[in-house]
Amino acid sequence: LEALLVQADVVTIHLPRTEETEGLIGARELGLMKEGARLINTARGGIVEEEALAAAVKDGRLGGAALDVFEREPTTSSALFELDHVVVTPHLGASTVEAQDKAGTTIAEMVRLALRGEFVPYAVNVPAAGEVGEQVRPFVPLAEKLGAILTGLAEGPIHALEAEYLGKLAEHDTRVLTLAALKGALAPVVHEPVSFVNAPVIARERELHVSERRSTLSRDYVNLLVLRARTDGGEVAVAGTVVGSREGERIVQVFDFDMDMAPARHMVFFLYEDRPGVVGTVGTLLGEAGVNIASMEVGRHGAGGDALMGLAVDSPIPPAVLSRIEQAVGTTRARALTLPGQSWS
């Protein structure tokens, strides 16, 4: 045991609690471990002396610890609870082969979600952790995409993000959607990977205020998610919903223009004065640059008024091509977006 403690970076306990194993890992044994090493006990409480473990982590001798068992269970007070580098969870019991198989499968599925950067329902360090309702789940990837689009359309850094839920969606716990929208909004502008765990921390560091609004009344859609961002240049908004039995994602509003288009990996939006020939000009310039248009949508405030063109394209639009389109069309705003961190067909 001493040889193992001296060499190991991570020590995990896999023992029953008996007279011989009770207090097996105490202050002396913890002192033998490598500086910065981590200890995991998911076997039985009492094998590791909790006070000694808390002291070793608090002093910086150990890099951290994780436990789901304690000397006294249930426990509501422990020196370990107050330490940032200690993860504590309820004890997972699986006393039959079938229960162990199901527990293992569930854990594997959760790990896969985490590695893919997706929401992990039962993670203890996710603010909105918990079972996601059937009405809410289809909106999680959409909320993340809308958040990324919002950042791409914004004039400068976002100071405040508001998520508004309308229709039946407002009747449910939507914290995970707000968290997904925040994750999506931060991903394009933060160098480090953004996850459901660290997104709120990054938002606090950037002094980005996040809020929710809700109403069961929705004029046009059964469920509607509206994201608004406040920047130094004003407010920008984007809205979306999920429709049909296949749960198709739709962007239904950009700025204050009604739209109907599916989110795509590569998108571009042009704000301009409505007039004949603009669609043809944009298509020609993109075609000459070898950029294929997958879909196009135009929203406008009446003939001859302001108009917004949204396009989904198969490849990124080079800055020089975007500049040529701006000059040819006379756009008042042009934004080319590449959405990060999503699986695209």
Q: Answer whether 196's CB lies under 8 Å from 180's CB.
A: yes
The owner of tokens 């995990």 is: 12
CA 103 to chain centroid: 25
91 is a catalytic site residue = yes
Active-site residue, 44 included: yes
Cis peptide before 74 (omega within 30 of 0): yes
And the tokens for 273?
């004065």
Crossing angle of helices 175-186 and 139-153, in 10° steps, is: 40
Q: Which one of 14, 22, 72, 73 is the catalytic residue?
A: 73
Q: Which residue in the list 44, 172, 265, 335 is annotated as catalytic?
A: 44
Distance from C-alpha of 78 to C-alpha of 285, rounded to nearest angstrom: 66
Question: Which listed residue (14, 28, 72, 91) is catalytic?
Answer: 91
Residues carrying an active site annotation: 44, 73, 91
